[in-house]
Structure formats: structure tokens, C-alpha cells
Amino acid sequence: MAAGSAFAQTHEPTTPVDTDHAPPQVATATPPTCQALCAGQQIELELAEFVSSDRHKIGDRFKLRLATALSLDGTVILPAGTPGIGEVVHAQTSRGGGKPGELLLAARFLELPDGPLALRAMKLAARGQDKTGAALATSFVAGPFAMFMHGREIEIPAGTHAFAKLAQDLDPARAVPTPPTPAQAAAPAQETPRTTVAHDASTIKE
């Protein structure tokens, strides 16, 4: 029985493939390539509130804002001041033996009217220093980050500038209207001048 079975399998007739009537190959669509404001683009942020190793714990969120507007072809897509949220990834108060506090911060998203715009890879820069390529890592310990050390705790003041990257492409259609400047908002409405016809009518009436 075993031999007969093997024989039948080795001599089973094969069905020829009709190449003239083979189903057409379906072409896979190539996703469009991002041209601008793409995931991975670096943006400049600033902390909108104070963060410290002795007052914040893992999971705490803090306010950010966009420090430099994002533009495309001369058109502002996201104005400076667009609010955002960051999160404390690691926090440790100072400990015995002289060990300083520690902080690890992350930028999570910018708050757009139609939903969040995800961010990643936040790095802080010292305020007042050249920020072109001189970003500082967000894991703070004693040593090169002594500018944030107060006693043995790390305190990062509001207004500290940082860099992050877009974690997703930014569709220009999500542009946020630029708010008017204080001067524009305070400007009084101009009185509509009287037309020549109105002036003539008042003269006639008199």
C-alpha cells in the first residue's frame, strides 16, 4: 500500500497553466513621498513651566510651546506659541552619599485644533548659548549640566529652549491661524469717511 501510494503521488498528472488567461498582477500603490514638514524635521520648543527633580515624578506632564514658527513656502503653518505637552520619563531626588537628582524629559505633542501632533527626541539647549548643533541630552546628572543644578536638585526654569522632532508628517492643511499681534488687536476701528454723495445730500437739506 505504501509503494502504491508513493507511485500514485509521483505520477499524478499536472494541470497545465493557461498563461493567456492568467489573472492580471495587481500593482501596489506607492505611498506619496513627503516633500516638506516631514517626520524627523527638527523644531524649536521652550518649556512653559518650571520642572524640577524634587517636585516632579515619573508620568507628570508639563507645558511646552513652539518657540519658532513652522513655515512652508513663506506661509506660517504653526505660529510660535502653539501649545504642547511634555512628560517626565524619569525623576529622582537627590540621595545620600552626595548623589544628585536626575531628570529625563520627553516632548509628547503639540496641541492643534484638530488633534495632537506627535513629537519625539527632545533635547534641551542652554539658554543664551548657540543652539546650532549644540543640543544637550535630556538625561541630567552632575557635571556638564551644572547650569541646571540648585543644591543637589535639578531645576529647569520656564523659558528654557529645547529641540524636538516631528514624529509624523505635518499636513499643511492643518495650518493654525496666526493670532493678531497686541498692537493689531488694540488698534481702534477707523471711521468710514463720508462719501461725496452723502455730503451733497446734507448740503441740500440744509
Q: What is the pLDDT of residues 148-197, one digit of tens each?
A: 777 788 889 999 999 999 999 999 999 998 765 555 445 555 554 444 43
Q: Could you give the CA distance from residue 119 to residue 167 in angstroms, rounded to a whole number?
A: 5
Contacts of 117 (CB under 8 A, 6+ apart): 78, 109, 110, 166, 168, 170, 174
Per-residue pLDDT of the chain in tens (206 residues, 90 and over written 9)? 444 434 344 445 555 555 566 566 665 666 567 767 999 999 999 999 999 988 999 999 999 999 999 999 999 999 999 999 999 998 888 876 667 788 889 999 999 999 999 999 998 754 323 333 333 444 433 334 556 777 788 889 999 999 999 999 999 999 998 765 555 445 555 554 444 433 433 333 33
Q: Could you give the CA distance from residue 83 to residue 110 in angstroms, rounded to a whole number?
A: 6
The overall pTM is greater than 0.75: no
Q: Could you give the CA distance from residue 112 to residue 119 in angstroms, rounded to a whole number?
A: 12
Q: What is the dihedral angle through the alpha carbons of 106, 112, 114, 116, rounded to the nearest 10 degrees?
A: 0
Q: Could you give the CA distance from residue 40 to residue 166 in angstroms, rounded to a whole number?
A: 5
